[in-house]
Structure 1
Amino acid sequence: MKLTIERAALLKSLNHVQSVVERRNTIPILSNVKIEGANGRLSLNATDMDLDIVEAVPAEVAQPGATTAPAHTLYEIIRKLPEGSQVEIEQSGDDSQLVLRSGRSRFTLASLPVTDYPVMSGGELPYSFVLGADDLKGLIDKTRFAISSEETRYYLNGIYLHAASSDGVPVLRAVATDGHRLARVEVPLPEGAPGMPGVIVPRKTVAELRKLLDETSVDVTISLSETKIRFAFDDAVMTSKLIDGTFPDYERVIPADNDKVLEVDCKSLSQAVDRVSAISTEKSRAIKLSVDKGGLTLSASSPENGSAVEELEASYEAGPMEIGFNSRYLMDILAQIEGDAARFAMADAASPTVVREVTDSSAVYVLMPMRV
Structure 2
Amino acid sequence: MKVAFNASDFNHGMSMVSHALPARVIKPYQEGVFLETMDTGLRLTVTDGEVAIQSTIAAEVVEEGSALLPARLLGELVRNLEGNVELETESNEAAIVRNQGSRTRLVLFAAEEFPEIAPVEAESITSISQQQFKSAVRSIIFAIATDETRRILTGCLMETSADEVRFVCLDGYRLAMQRVYCKHEMPAGKEVLSYILPGLLVGNIARMMSDSEQPITLSLSRTHMMAEFDKTRVFAPLILGEYINYRQILPTSWTTAIRVERGALSGSIQRAALIAREGSNNLLRLKIENQTLTISAMADKGAATEQIPVDFDGSPLNIAFNANYLNDVIKNIDTQDLSMRFNTNVSPCVVAPVSGNQYTYLILPVRVSD
TM-score range with shorter-chain normalisation?
A: over 0.9
Q: Of the candidates 274, 278, 286, which is equivalent to residue 278 of structure 1?
A: 274
| 1:49-105 superposed Cα distances (whole Å, 9 cap, x missing partner) | 221111111112211111011222222222233xx4322211122x22222222333
**Corresponding residue of 1:128:** 125
What residue number does 1:110 align with? Answer: 107
Unaligned 5+ segments in structure 2 are: none
CA deviations 1:157-199 (Å, max 9, x no partner) are 11101135xxxx8432111000110011222353224536411
Match of 1:149 in 2: 146
* Residue 152 of structure 1: how far off its partner (Å): 0.3
Tell me which of 167, 170, 178 is aligned to 1:174.
167
Alignment of 1:1-372 (within 5 A): 1-39=1-39, 41-81=41-81, 84-93=82-91, 95-163=92-160, 170-188=163-181, 190-193=183-186, 195=190, 197-214=193-210, 216-281=212-277, 284-303=281-300, 305-372=301-368
Shift of the alpha carbon at 1:24? Answer: 1.5
Contact 1:353 1:368 in 2 (8 A): yes
Amino acid at match of 1:230: M
Q: Give the Cα separation in 1 of the matches to 2:183 and 2:352.
A: 24
Structure 1, unaligned runs of 5 or more: none
Give secondary structure in 2 for the equivalent of 1:101. Answer: strand
Q: Which amino acid aligns with 2:281?
A: S
| Conservation of the 8 A alpha-carbon contact between 2:134 and 2:207 | no
The answer as to whether partners of 1:293 and 1:319 remain within 8 angstroms in 2 is no
Deviations 1:36-57 (A, max 9, x none): 1243511101112221111111
Determine the C-alpha separation between the residues in 2 that align with 1:129 and 1:214. 18
Verify the 8 A CA contact 1:128 1:193 in the aligned structure 2: no
- CA separation in 2, counterparts of 1:317 and 1:204? 39
**Alpha-carbon separation, structure 2, partners of 1:268 and 1:205:** 34
Moved more, 228-237 or 261-270: 228-237
Q: Which amino acid aligns with 1:181?
A: R
- Cα distance between partner residues in 1 of 2:310 and 2:138: 27
Cα distance in 1 for partners of 2:257, 2:337 equals 13
- Alpha-carbon separation, structure 1, partners of 2:79 and 2:266: 39
- Find the aligned partners of 1:369 and 1:273 in 2 and give their Cα distance: 15
3-state DSSP class of the match of 2:269?
helix
Preserved contact between residue 197 and residue 225 of structure 1 (Cα < 8 Å) = no
Summarize the Cα distance change of 1:359–1:252 in structure 2 as closer, same or farther, 3 Å threshold.
Answer: same
Consecutive aligned runs of 4 or more in structure 1 exceeding 6 Å deviation: none
Following the alignment from structure 1 to structure 2, what is the Cα–Cα distance between the partners of residues 127 and 276? Answer: 46
| 1:42 partner amino acid | L
Cα distance in 2, alignment partners of residues 246 and 106 from structure 1: 54
What is the alpha-carbon distance in structure 1 between the residues aligned to residue 327 and residue 101 of structure 2?
A: 52
Determine the C-alpha separation between the residues in 2 that align with 1:182 and 1:87.
49
Aligned residues: 364
Whether the aligned pair in 2 keeps the contact of 1:130 and 1:190 (CA below 8 Å) is no
Q: Percent identity?
A: 26
Q: Matched residues in 2 for 1:160 and 1:280: separation?
A: 32
In structure 2, what is the Cα distance between the partners aligned to 1:327 and 1:12?
39
* Residue type at the aligned position of 1:88: E
Aligned-residue CA RMSD in angstroms?
A: 1.9
Q: Is the 8 A contact 1:163 1:189 kept in 2?
A: no
Normalising by structure 2, what TM-score? 0.92
Distance of aligned partners of 1:319 and 1:207 in 2 relative to their CA distance in 1, 3 Å threshold: closer
Q: What amino acid is the match of 2:227?
A: F
Deviation at 1:215, TM superposition (A): 6.0
Contact map agreement 1:261 1:318 (CA 8 A) in 2: yes
TM-score (norm: length of structure 1): 0.92
| Structure-2 separation of matches of 1:170 and 1:6 | 42
Report the secondary structure of 2:298's partner residue.
strand
